[in-house]
């Protein structure tokens, strides 16, 4: 009796999970449609000229960026803008030699603009705190923000400001990220295509159709008034950019996305660095959901705007559902009698439909950017597998956000000019991923021919967990100081 109740409960949970994943898949199809529909009206928007440039403050929030900071400063120093109307603020919270590198740069280089090196004794609020502290030191009307691994083109700020001047109700122009190291490995190529899906399809689909969109934390220009009327930067989530974006739009400001305003950046080449970045984004997104979604529901936004905001902010909930579905799928393989009691094959038709939605979105993003992906459909299948492999990492982040576990803002290490390579924080969570892969392998070996509709999905999950865990393990043992790495990892776990 108890086992029967448990089986019914598991199938019920499975059905609910599949329903949510199906909605997310439909949402991916809808984003493609919304992008294609709105693109027609945006193709000739252009960047209007202006004669009286407003004051611009370029903020560069950095923390231990020895390998990247000089390249960033070079890019900013070459911006096309009236010299007496643009100031640069280096918000430096570093505790390594980065500060010395900045000082030497400012002393020895011919500077086109006025640079100020702002140091704080305590990293209160982390990046959000640094940006807020910087605003108190400068009254400029427009605020451009670039992280250490970004290389804005000469006309980036000029073009962004022109759009802001054109529309006084516009609070932000977000540029499109490009990647200088996308071809470094299969791993970076996988990330680049995934990010293109966001920057080439999802962001324009939201912005150009009047839905809530988000600032991506860098490569964007804000109107100062929008920041202030939104309540300024707050450091109570790990995604201060997403948080401020929604608060600004709730305060009545419009945010826009410029597909035609690219900014080169660097993709993490380390699996641990990518995991850390994804963990921060996943946890911060759910923190923002908890913080702001009640306000969104009570706001004057339209029903469709609220629905889209719900899809946007709950995106990372996919990952704990993927882990649950994987485990329940393995359980089904060990209990074939469930196939006689429930029409489970229909669930997997829905899962197939849901999983092809993101694949179509990724393919459309490459077409929109005139890119080609080696391997075609096999590459996208592998992307789905790797996405499933990240499920445990992001599930931990979601759980911490829901349970209120505090964690610091952990920067993503950048390779930069490789004079010094920052190492990402390593931990032993890959052992859980390896265990999940082992569970999948055992379950698949137990499968019979009657599970033809379930096996392919579990193969994708198992492949993903196996690739992520093996890649993580390889990086973990490659640490030069193996003993200290082991001690640190054990203490962090």
The CATH number for 234's domain is: 3.90.550.10
Query: Which position has the token pair 């997104």?
Result: 285
Q: 232 in the Ramachandran plot: left (φ > 0), alpha (ψ -120 to 50) or beta?
A: left
Band (pLDDT 50/70/90 cuts) for residue 111 is very high
Structure confidence by residue, pLDDT tens digits, 474-492: 888 876 454 454 444 434 4
Q: Predicted confidence band at 79 (pLDDT cuts at 50, 70, 90)?
A: very high
| pLDDT the model gives residue 48 | 82
Residues 428 and 471 occupy one common structural domain: yes
Q: Residue 232 — very low, low, confident or very high, per pLDDT cuts 50/70/90? A: very high
126 torsion bin: left (phi>0), alpha (psi -120 to 50), beta (else) = left
Same domain assignment for residues 385 and 243: no
For residues 65 and 190, state if they share a domain. Answer: yes
Shared-domain flag, residues 185 and 260: yes
Q: Where are the alpha helices (DSSP H) in 369-454?
A: 377-389, 391-403, 430-445
Range scoring the smallest mean pLDDT among 66-80, 196-210, 250-264, 411-425: 411-425
Task: Supply the pLDDT for residue 17.
Answer: 85
127 and 236 both lie in a single domain: yes
Q: How many CA atoms lie within 13 A of 283 on its CB side?
A: 24
Q: 64-68, 327-331, 351-355: which has the minimum mean pLDDT?
A: 351-355
Instruction: Confirm if 224 and 142 have CB atoms less than 8 A apart.
Output: yes
In a domain, 54, yes or no: yes
Instruction: Kindly give, in sequence order, each residue whose CB lies less than 8 Å from that of residue 430, ignoring residues fewer than 6 positions away.
Output: 468, 469, 472, 473, 476
- Asked whether residue 425 is assigned to any structural domain, the reply reads yes
Coil, helix or strand for 263?
strand
Q: Is residue 297 part of a domain?
A: no
pLDDT at 342: 60
| Same-domain status, 231 and 163 | yes
Angle (nearest 5°) at CA 59 between 253 and 100: 165
Residue 247 has pLDDT above 80, yes or no: yes
Among left, alpha and beta (phi > 0; psi -120 to 50; other), residue 61 is beta
Averaged pLDDT, 179-206:
93
What are the beta bridge partners of residue 177?
Answer: 263
Clarify whether residues 328 and 395 are in a common domain. Answer: yes
Identify the domain containing residue 88 by its residue range.
46-270+277-285
Model pLDDT, residue 339: 62
Instruction: Mark whether 241 is an active-site residue.
Output: yes
Q: Residue 45: what pLDDT?
A: 73
pLDDT for the residue 47: 86
Count of domains in the chain? 2
Alpha helices in 251-343 (DSSP H): 271-298, 303-313, 318-334, 338-341
Residue 41: inside a domain: no
Phi-psi region of 109 (alpha: psi -120 to 50; beta: other; left: phi over 0): beta
With CA atoms as reference, report the closest residue to 62 among 148, 143, 136: 148
Same domain, 334 and 356: yes
d(CA 312, CA 367): 23
Q: Does 278 have pLDDT greater than 90? A: yes
Calculate the CA dihedral of residues 286, 291, 294, 296 and round it to 10 degrees. Answer: -80
Same structural domain, 93 and 114: yes
Confidence grade of residue 69 (pLDDT, cut at 50, 70, 90): very high
In a domain, 304, yes or no: no
Residue 298 lies in a domain: no
Q: Which of the following is catalytic: 92, 93, 147, 149?
A: 93
* CA dist., res. 111 & res. 105, Å (int): 9
Decide if pLDDT at 35 tops 60.
Answer: yes
Confidence tier at 43 by pLDDT (50, 70, 90): low
Catalytic residue among 92, 147, 149, 241: 241
Instruction: Decide if 488 is inside a domain.
Output: yes
Cα separation, 433 vs 423, in Å, equals 21
pLDDT range class, residue 123, cuts 50, 70, 90: confident
Q: How many beta carbons lie within 10 A of that of residue 30, not counting itself?
A: 16
pLDDT of residue 415: 60
Catalytic, 149? Answer no
- The answer to whether residues 281 and 331 belong to one domain is no
Question: Residue 483's pLDDT is what?
Answer: 44
CB atoms within 10 A of CB 78: 12
Residue 221: enclosing H or E segment and its boundaries? strand 220-223
Let me know if residue 200 belongs to a domain: yes
Looking at the structure, tell me whether residues 29 and 50 fall in a common domain.
no
Of 133, 47, 139, the closest CA to residue 85 belongs to 139
pLDDT of residue 14: 82
pLDDT band at 213 (very low <50, low <70, confident <90, very high): very high
Does this model's pTM top 0.95? My answer is: no
In this structure, of 67-71, 131-135, 354-358, the range with the lowest mean pLDDT score is 354-358
Is the pLDDT assigned to residue 152 strictly greater than 60? Answer: yes
| Distance of alpha carbon 289 from alpha carbon 397, whole angstroms | 13
Task: Round the average pLDDT of the chain to a whole number and report it.
Answer: 89
Element at 354 (helix H, strand E)? helix 344-368
Structure tokens at 27: 């949402």
Whether residue 158 is found in the same domain as residue 248 = yes
Copy the structure tokens of residue 376: 């075609």
Q: What are phi and psi of 421, to 5 degrees?
A: -105, 120
């Amino acid at each position: 009796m108890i086992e029967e109740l448990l089986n019914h409960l598991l199938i019920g949970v499975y059905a609910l999970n599949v329903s949510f994943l199906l909605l997310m898949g439909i949402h991916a199809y809808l984003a493609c449609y919304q992008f294609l529909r709105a693109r027609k009206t945006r193709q000739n928007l252009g960047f209007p000229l202006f004669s009286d440039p407003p004051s611009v403050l370029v903020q560069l929030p950095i923390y231990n960026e020895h390998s990247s900071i000089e390249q960033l400063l070079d890019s900013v120093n070459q911006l096309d803008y009236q010299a007496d109307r643009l100031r640069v603020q280096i918000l430096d919270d570093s505790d390594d030699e980065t500060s010395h590198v900045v000082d030497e740069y400012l002393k020895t280089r011919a500077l086109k603009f006025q640079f100020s090196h702002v140091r704080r004794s305590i990293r209160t609020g982390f990046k959000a705190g640094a940006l807020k502290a910087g605003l108190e030191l400068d009254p400029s009307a427009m605020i451009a923000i670039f992280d250490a691994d970004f290389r804005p083109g000469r006309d980036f700020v000029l073009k962004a400001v022109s759009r802001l001047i054109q529309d006084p109700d516009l609070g932000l122009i977000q540029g499109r990220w490009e990647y200088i190291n996308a071809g470094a490995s299969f791993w970076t190529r996988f990330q680049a295509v995934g990010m293109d899906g966001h920057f080439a399809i999802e962001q324009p689909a939201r912005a150009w159709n009047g839905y809530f969109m988000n600032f991506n934390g860098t490569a964007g220009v804000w109107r100062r008034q929008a920041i202030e009327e939104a309540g300024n930067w707050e450091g109570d989530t790990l995604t201060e950019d997403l948080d401020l974006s929604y608060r600004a739009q709730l305060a009545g400001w419009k945010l826009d996305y410029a597909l035609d305003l690219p900014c080169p950046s660097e993709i993490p080449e380390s699996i641990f660095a990518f995991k850390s970045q994804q963990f921060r984004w996943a946890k911060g997104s759910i923190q923002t959901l908890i913080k702001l979604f009640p306000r969104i529901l009570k706001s004057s936004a339209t029903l469709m705007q609220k629905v889209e905001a719900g899809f946007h902010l709950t995106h990372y909930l996919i990952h704990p559902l993927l882990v649950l579905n994987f485990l329940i799928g393995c359980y089904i393989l060990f209990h074939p009698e469930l196939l006689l009691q429930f029409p489970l094959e229909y669930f997997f038709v829905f899962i197939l439909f849901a999983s092809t939605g993101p694949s179509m979105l990724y393919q459309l993003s490459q077409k929109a950017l005139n890119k080609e992906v080696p391997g075609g459909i096999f590459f996208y299948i592998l992307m789905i597998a790797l996405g499933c492999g990240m499920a445990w990492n992001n599930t931990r982040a979601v759980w911490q956000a829901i349970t209120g576990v505090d964690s610091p803002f952990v920067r993503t290490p950048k390779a930069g000019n490789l004079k010094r390579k920052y190492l990402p924080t390593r931990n032993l969570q890959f052992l859980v991923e390896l265990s999940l892969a082992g569970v999948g392998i055992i379950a698949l070996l137990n499968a019979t021919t009657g599970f033809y509709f379930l096996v392919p999905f579990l193969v994708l999950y198992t492949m993903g967990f196996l690739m992520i865990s093996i890649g993580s393990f390889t990086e973990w043992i490659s640490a030069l100081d193996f003993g200290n790495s082991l001690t640190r990892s054990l203490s962090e776990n």
